[in-house]
Structure 1
Amino acid sequence: MYNNQESHAMFAQQGVNLQGANAPPASMFGDVPGYEGMGGGYLPPPIPAYPPPAPQPAPTQPEWNIPSITEDTAREAFLLYVSSHCCYRKAPAVDGVITNMDAFNTYRYRLETFTESRSTEWDHEEYNGQPVDAYTQPAPGPWDIKVQAPALFQDHTEDIKVPYTSSVKDCHTCVGMGRSPCTECSGAGNKVCWVCNGSGIRGADDQCGHCNGRGRENCSHCHGHGSRECESCNGKRQLLVYIKLKVTWANNIEDFIVEQSSGLKVENLSKVSGKELFRDAQYMVYPVMGFPDPAVGQAAERLVRDHQTKYSESARILQQRQTIELIPITKVTYKWSGSMHTYFVYGNEFQVNADDYPATCCCTVM
């Protein structure tokens, strides 16, 4: 009844150990000088032929102050905050009487180190007649390949075929046959009928109409062929195998916020901006010196030292940038329903924090 069932079974037997392979076997690849032992993480950059330029001290900047916000600004920000919470009643924000506004400022020092790192691994794709250049010339080293860098301080990745490493191999998944056994029917081309459970009979003595009494039905995944087009080579039977260079540009950012006595938690300041007092960008920055708040200078010295040590081991530092912002914080005290309450307005965005908001209710979605 199934003339090619044996051939399907033979096909399945031949490829059974190859199904589910995630990567080509190591024996599939040749040895390329300079690329031995790939897959061990990012490659350390070569030592520069000339020493990098020394960081230059940045000019000192005057201390700036941010004017305090007005009552109208504080109330408007509070109303927007309350409106964004479905369980908050507006009465405290509308009827509350502001009795006091205390202004606090805090500094945020930020260091950005823009790096380029490189790693290599074997990769493959279906072969469609692409150029094959393995061993025609010595392959360039990972850090000798010229790559156009993106805009500074923006994360980006790029994959590149290493020149003179491409060769053609039989597909490891289908052993060069272009098709792989169907995993749904184990290469048989048919499965037990799900209606009659293989009996061929439905009910008392009625023949199963789904399988016409055969007890089996053609596999819908392979349309009864017992095999499907190989997903690794898309039926081409061969693969182009090559070394892939992965270049990663990363902007490594670290902040330091000076503690302040307003009572607002520091983590609330991570998503707001302040007034920029200082900006310095160069190949390697020099720690800020002579800033009015000594905590900023100490943080700058520590972070610059840590970044230059940490990132130069596995990456090439392309540029550094340091900024200092003055973030405004206003603590607002107001009276509502005979009790005193507080909220904070902070950042250039006038964000609000009111952990003790006095008029909340529970919302229930029906």
Structure 2
Amino acid sequence: MERAELIRSKDLVSYGSSEPPPPCGPGAEGFPTLAAYQAEESTLHLSEEEAREALVQFAASKCCYSSAPARQLVVQGLAALNTYRYQLQTFTESRSTLPASRPYKGEFVDSWQMGVPPGPWDIAVDPPPLFADCEVHLPVPHTSKVMDGLQQNCSHCLGSGRMRCVPCLGEGTVPCARCATKGLLLCFLELTITWKNNITEYVHDKDQGFPLSRLQEVTGKQLFSEEQPWVTTQRLPQPLVRGAESCLALHRGQLAEHTRILGQKQTIELIPLTRVDYGWRGRLHSFYVYGNENQVYAKDYPGKCCCDLGANCQPDPDLRLLQMTLLGLPMGLKASSLPPMSAAWLLRLGKG
């Protein structure tokens, strides 16, 4: 019957052009210089007192860590190791179609007789604000159908609107959830439009013994932000150019093939990072303070727990009472304030 025959399910999956339109061309490449900001890379953003307080808070957050080294340390020097974090956001739109259905209640059927179904990218839809994830589902015009004959009925209840009740072993019936007791289904092609903000970051590694993965937990000072249809790396600080180019190549290579790029945004943050060298009990140690939040990384902190459990050490309160009683100590006394041998023995009781 050629076009007079209603569209079949397999025809609903492939129609029109599924290829996204080409992305917008590159925008203006010129943007403000960052030379004025690069001086901050060697600027200290932390005082000795702030460094000490950060370490005290760090020790207090760890179970069984002694705060004595943090309170008694002698600062030997502060070294600014501030680094840049580059972030690329690429806002994309993707479209796909799949057969769908809903209960048919006698409403108007927008079938092929009303016109030729448009392609996925031919349907005009206003996008959401840039860089905000969103998803919508729309019926494709002129693809609705209620097929003739037996196929017109709901396949679940065979058009009766009710189904056998499973809990009562079929002695009764329940309303059909698929067709809402109507017995008929309106089938159509559903267009799914997904707007997604794809984010990739690059942090300049100065190889200073600090794990860069920890910088994901903190914020920095934003030095630069730019939005364009397509951003470029022109005038970026030299240490960031290679990393930024890798981010751009990754997004344009993987995203442009199957999605439409609506816009890009690149930002640069200066992440405060300070190494603090200090002395305690005749030995030299160091720790790092990073981010606006003054987080601490202290791998060789000298006041760590002696019980080999570290942060997992959580003695039972009842055992704590027994331990203190056996030692003849007041309940308010902390294990960290005992001599090392007594503290270790006391905490190991909690493990047994």
Band the TM-score falls in, shorter-chain normalisation: 0.7 to 0.9
Match of 1:80 among 35, 57, 72: 57
1:140 aligns with: 118
Q: Counterpart of 1:350?
A: 294
Which residue number corresponds to residue 213 of structure 1? none
1:53 corresponds, among 12, 25, 42, to 25
Shift >4 Å, 4+ stretches: 32-36
Check the 8 A contact 2:34/2:236 in 1, yes or no: no
The worse-fitting range, judged by mean Cα deviation, of 334-343 and 74-83 is 334-343
Cα 1:351–1:288, aligned 2, differ >3 Å: closer, same or farther? farther
SS of 2:77's equivalent? strand
**Per the alignment, do residues 331 and 47 of structure 1 end up closer, same or farther by CA in structure 2, a change over 3 Å counting?**
closer
Deviations 1:17-55 (A, max 9, x none): xxxxxxxxxxxx8348984438xxx9420347xxx4334
**Which whole-Å deviations, capped at 9, do the CAs of 1:123-157 have from their partners, x for residues lacking one?**
12223444321222222221111222111111111
TM (norm. structure 1) is 0.72
SS of residue matched to 1:173: coil
Q: Percent identity?
A: 39
Distance 1:178 1:364, change over 3 A: farther
Do 2:153 and 2:185's aligned partners in 1 also have CA atoms closer than 8 Å? yes
Aligned equivalent of 2:221, options 275, 278, 285: 275
The CA deviation at 1:306 is: 3.1
Q: 1:340 to 1:45 in 2, by over 3 A?
A: same
Q: Call closer, same or farther: CA 1:313–1:35 in 2, change over 3 Å.
A: farther
- Indicate yes or no: 2:108 matched with 1:125: no
Which residue matches 2:243? 299
Distance 1:350 1:81 in 2: 10
Deviation string for 1:306-357 (max 9, x for gaps)? 3223211111100011122221211123334554433211112212222333
Structure 1 residues 85 and 171, CA gap change in structure 2 (3 angstroms): farther
State the shift of 1:80 in Å: 2.9
Distance 2:214 2:155 in 1: 54
> Residue 235 and residue 327 in structure 1: after superposition, are their counterparts in 2 closer, same or farther (change >3 A)?
same
Change (3 A) 1:364 1:123: farther
What whole-Å deviation, never above 9, does each CA across 1:78-131 have from its counterpart, x for those lacking one? 233333334434333333333332220212222111100111101122234443
Choose which of 145, 160, 165 in structure 1 pairs with 2:143: 165
Give TM-score, length-normalised by structure 2.
0.74
Partners of 1:359 and 1:33 lie apart in 2 by: 66
Partner of 1:363: 314
Counterpart check, 1:180 vs 2:131 = no
Please report how far the alpha carbon of residue 290 of structure 1 lies from its aligned counterpart in structure 2 after TM superposition: 5.9
Secondary structure (helix, strand or coil) at the match of 1:143 reads helix
Secondary structure at the counterpart of residue 64 of structure 1: helix
- Structure 1 contact 118–246 (Cα < 8 Å) conserved: yes
Structure 1: runs of 5+ lacking an equivalent: 1-28, 190-224
The answer (yes or no) to whether the contact 2:90–2:251 under 8 Å persists in 1 is yes
- 8 Å CA contact 2:101, 2:186 repeated in 1: yes
CA gap of 1:267–1:47, structure 2 versus 1, over 3 A, is closer
Equivalences, count: 293
Match of 2:211 in 1: 265
Residues 155-204 of structure 1: CA deviation (Å, up to 9, x unaligned): 111111222222334212111122222334542x3xxxxxxxxxxxxxxx
Q: Identify which range, 111-120 or 147-156, moves more after superposition.
A: 147-156
- Matched with 1:212 is none
Residues in 2 aligned to 1:238 and 1:45: alpha-carbon distance in whole angstroms: 35
Structure with the largest fraction of helix: 2
What is the Cα-based RMSD across aligned positions, in Å? 2.7
- CA distance 1:87–1:152, change in 2 (3 Å): farther
Q: How does 1:57-68 map to 2 (within 5 A)?
A: 57-59=29-31, 60-62=33-35, 63-65=38-40, 66-68=43-45
